[in-house]
Amino acid sequence: MEVIEGKAFIKGRLRKAAIGIEDGKIVAIKKVLYGKTRNYGNMLILPSGVDIHVHFRQPGYEYKEDFSTGSKAALLAGITCVVDMPNNRPAIVTDEAFKEKLRRIKDRSYVDYALYAGLTENLVKEANLYKLYMSGDNEIFVDYDLLEEMLKKIKSKDAILAVHAEDKDCIARKGKNLEEYERNSPVECEEKAIRRIIEANKKINAKLHICHVSSARNAKFLRKMHVSFGVTLHHIMFSYKSKFKKEAMGKVNPPLRSEEERSKLFEMVMKGMIPLLESDHAPHLMKEKEGFEDAKAGMPGVDALLPIMLYFVKTGRISLKRLVGMVSENPARLLGINKGSIAIGKDADFIIVDLNDVKKVKPLSKCGWSCYEGMNAIYPRHVWMRGNIVVEDGIAKWPMGERVK
């Protein structure tokens, strides 16, 4: 039995503990255990993160990210499981495309992973996670009059539908700057789509997750409806008034909101009123961010989400319990995977953190840039995944991720 010792986050609090590991699982948690032991002293042993929203761009856009580079960036930032989106080239909307994507990324991921299939009229059979763009930005879309029928199919499979909630008839993807871009796709467009999908699902009760909610008003509504939803780091850190080296670096969908809206959402996160944090890691090359109107929407973030939030723990902005809930426990519970907490029977996925080891954010994505560059952050010293040390002293060892769902 392997044993790690230190200040571990167990059942909502930190305590000195010895954690026994066999066959990649936690088999014992006691004050003292005997075996091959690593003692991490006063460093914290925390559950690693689960990011349910990444775009690792493979297949089709490997020039700006691929599964190997994206998953390595995630791992170095303390994430040991991701769920990758289906808006690839070709879009993952057929059984053949789904199987080909699995084949291409096999043995290339540094972290464990699951894949979304795009929701169209014909469900991808092997998938149990689906994505719908109500924005109509791509072919991963079904007409609104088919929503109830598709939700019934999702329900019958006991699958999960992740939703990009912006109403296609409301948004206008245009603008010469961030403020104008937001004005043409306002919070009301998000609200309209959220209410439409919830109304369609009222009698069906399929499992829904609303992605990247960008306003406090809509977050409060979803809390009342008891619907899973996520918030991104960029929507709580930046507004359309934020300054970037190139303004299009901040061009995302849904758009960055007003400073007032950002502040309200930030406070909801810090108070633990948001069920999940997700990166919506969507890298593009810097040359694709040159002119605002033609720039691609999206920014990298899987390499900054947990390190920046850990710095907020150090400075007292958020409690460790709230953060672990949003980045580990709740996403793992939503997916139904054996991760997210330090408990007997769970995968031995940990990050080892020294809260005094403050660094500056550096871009780890293949795209080579980050809007968070230079911000204070705390990266894990070591990372364990299924009982293996996969990052040691900040160096990733080898790609050994497996499909988990």
3-state helix, strand, coil in the chain (%, to 5): 30, 25, 45
pLDDT-derived band at 240, boundaries 50, 70, 90: very high
pLDDT of res. 362: 95
- pTM comes to 0.98
Measure the CA dihedral 283/82/204/202, to 10°. Answer: -60
Please give the angle made by the CA atoms of 11, 269 and 228, to the nearest 5 degrees. Answer: 75
Please give the angle made by the CA atoms of 326, 329 and 108, to the nearest 5 degrees. Answer: 95
What percent of the chain is predicted at pLDDT more than 90?
99
Q: Is residue 401 part of a domain?
A: no
pLDDT of res. 391: 98
- Location of structure tokens 């008003």: 217
Residue 216 lies in domain: 43-396
Q: Is residue 38 part of a domain?
A: no
Q: Is residue 16 part of a domain?
A: no
pLDDT-derived band at 370, boundaries 50, 70, 90: very high
Query: What are the CA-CA distances from residue 276 to residues 212, 272, 306, 390 (Å)?
Result: 10, 9, 12, 25
Q: Is residue 27 part of a domain?
A: no
Gyration radius of the chain's alpha carbons = 20
pLDDT-derived band at 44, boundaries 50, 70, 90: very high
64-123 tens-digit pLDDT: 999 999 999 999 999 999 999 999 999 999 999 999 999 999 999 999 999 999 999 999
pLDDT of res. 209: 98
Q: Is residue 236 part of a domain?
A: yes
Please give the angle made by the CA atoms of 333, 335 and 340, to the nearest 5 degrees. Answer: 45
Task: Give the span between the Cα atoms of 65 and 87, in whole angstroms.
Answer: 13
Q: Please list the active-site residues.
A: 280
Quote the tokens at residue 373.
């560059």
- At 286, which CATH number? 3.20.20.140
**Which runs of consecutive H residues, i.e. helices, occur in 226-304?**
233-237, 259-270
Q: Is residue 388 part of a domain?
A: yes
Q: Which residues of 88-126 are buried (b: 16+ CB within 10 A; e: fewer)?
A: beebbbbeebbeebeeebeebbbbbbbbbbbbbeebbee
pLDDT-derived band at 59, boundaries 50, 70, 90: very high
Quote the tokens at residue 341.
């907490």
pLDDT of res. 360: 98
Q: How many CB atoms lie within 10 A of CB 158?
A: 10
Contact in structure between 272 and 12 (CB atoms under 8 Å): no
Burial of 395 (0-12, 13-18, 19+ CB in 10 A): exposed
Average pLDDT over residues 261-285: 98
pLDDT of res. 247: 98
pLDDT-derived band at 365, boundaries 50, 70, 90: very high
pLDDT of res. 386: 98
Average pLDDT over residues 58-62: 98
Q: Strand 2-10 vs strand 36-47: parallel, antiparallel, or unpaired?
A: parallel
Task: Give the span between the Cα atoms of 158 and 214, in whole angstroms.
Answer: 27
Average pLDDT over residues 360-370: 98
Q: Is residue 23 part of a domain?
A: no
Mean pLDDT (the chain, rounded): 97
pLDDT of res. 304: 98
pLDDT-derived band at 211, boundaries 50, 70, 90: very high
Query: Which of 297, 295, 258, 292 minimizes the C-alpha distance to 280?
Result: 297
Task: Give the span between the Cα atoms of 242 and 266, in whole angstroms.
Answer: 15
pLDDT of res. 385: 98
- Location of structure tokens 């690693």: 48
- Location of structure tokens 């763009």: 133
Q: Is residue 18 part of a domain?
A: no
Average pLDDT over residues 235-239: 98
pLDDT of res. 368: 98
pLDDT-derived band at 206, boundaries 50, 70, 90: very high
138-187 tens-digit pLDDT: 999 999 999 999 999 999 999 999 999 999 999 999 999 999 999 999 99
Task: Give the span between the Cα atoms of 18 and 41, in whole angstroms.
Answer: 11
Contact in structure between 90 and 98 (CB atoms under 8 Å): no
Three-state DSSP class for residue 357: coil
How many folded domains does the chain comprise? Answer: 1
Query: Which of 162, 111, 171 minimizes the C-alpha distance to 136?
Result: 171
